[in-house]
Amino acid sequence: MRIDTAVVNEQRSDPRHERAWWILLGASLCVFSNSAPVAFYTFGVFLPEIIAQTHWSAQLVAAAIGPGLLAAAATALLAGRACDRFGIRRIILAGAPLAAIGLALVGLAPRSAAQFTAAIVLMFLLYFVGTPVPYAKLLSGWFDRRRGLALSMMFASSSIGIAFWPPFAAFLIQRMGWRGAYVALGLTAASLILIAALFLLKDPPTSRPSTIEKHGEEPGLVLSQALRTAKFWKISFIFFLLTGVLGGTAAIFPFVLRTQGADPTTAASIMSAVGGFMFLGRLSLSITLDRFFAPYVTVWITAVSMVAFVIMMIVTTLPALFVAAAFLGFGLGCEYAVTAYMVSRAFGLRSFGSIYGLITLLTTLGAALGASLLGSALVSSIGIATLAGVALAALSPAILLLITLRRADLPYRN
């Protein structure tokens, strides 16, 4: 009996195939260990210990995360282009050891605040496997009908990482000091990524060089073509605003609580609550994203988060702010999963890494700018209610632009 190899290949690439779910597990493990929970959200845990032990300038040490975020933004684009050209798994295998080296250098190398800043920047550059771009490209290649579910589940693992890595970092600091803790943190996170890449991850069948040579390029636009479309700039601006407002607010929310009289422990614990509601938000996203039109799902998720700013405009007591944090956390981070999903549907998979990498660069800059502006405003004694009103105003154009998107703008689906 003759077996049609094209049918076999199609079955192997079918997202219902058992292997795709193992790849989802591997990608989730990598995102759990990416640079956001491991490097960014542990920074506040390391900060007091570094300042106390080194007596470096507190302002310079605290400001080191800013240039680091800029470096992280650049790696999103570079990692995406590298995955498009060389293959996803190959880039992850090469990047895992470099991530360990980068984190270890933060602990071993600096002897001044300036050197510490340089080490943070170098760490984010070497931690290019810490961007979600390779894993979003990987799952988009393996999943189609359940792509929204897969991406949402993968990004949900980041919220679990936010709950795990900061306490783990504190545990390490108590046992071996901040320098040794950075080394151990890097070895642990990089080992998880390397194990996942070795035993769980596999490039999508349609993206392998042999498949492309036989059947032609994957459907979709290249980066230069995408840049000439209005929907690229519309999607970029939408998620620049969403990430800038939601991510920026989350970053400075403990400071908001401090201005209202919360003690340091209570203010810091807010990230655990935010992480928990992030997980719930991403589970909700996994249920709805494949069933309903993605821009409308994004409007709904954003509307839930907007309740946080309405609360902050009305009352700023500590109990009210904790409720606001829950609403904020529900939508926080969902924009990354929706961005990956919409980019794959709007531009196809041919140059997904480059296109999504560039949009991730822009959204990361939005988060950095949002946190900087909101933090500066709080230091300048601008009221919380006023800031909440400005945040609502900034979200409004994003909502309006989402409503203007049509199904014809997202044509790449089976």
Read off the tokens for 61.
């040490």
The pTM assigned to this predicted structure is 0.80
Mean pLDDT of 125-130: 94
Instruction: Name every residue whose Cβ is closer than 8 Å to that of residue 390 and which is 6 or more positions away in sequence.
Output: none
Name the packing angle between helices 18-32 and 147-199 (round to 10°).
80
As a whole number of angstroms, the distance between CA 368 and CA 357 comes to 16
Output the CA torsion 183→188→193→194 (10° steps): 80
Grade residue 268 by pLDDT with cuts at 50, 70 and 90. Answer: low
pLDDT in tens, 159-204: 888 778 888 888 899 899 999 999 999 999 999 999 999 999 999 8
In tens, the pLDDT along 308-357 reads: 999 999 988 888 888 898 898 888 877 788 999 999 999 999 899 999 99
Using alpha carbons, select from 363, 358, 347, 343 the residue that is nearest to residue 77. Answer: 358
pLDDT of 61 higher than 60? yes
Confidence class of residue 13 from pLDDT cuts 50, 70 and 90? very low
Rounded to whole angstroms, how far apart are CA atoms 201 and 31?
A: 13
Please determine, for residue 2, whether its predicted confidence score (pLDDT) is greater than 70.
Answer: no
Q: What is the DSSP letter of 33?
A: T
pLDDT band with cut points at 50, 70 and 90 for residue 413:
confident
Nearest Cα to Cα of residue 290 among 408, 140, 157: 140
Residues constituting the chain = 414
Helix (H, G, I), strand (E, B) or coil at 220: strand
The predicted structure's pLDDT at residue 210: 43
| pLDDT attached to residue 3 | 36
Mean pLDDT of the chain, nearest integer: 85
pLDDT category at 59 given cuts 50, 70, 90 is: confident
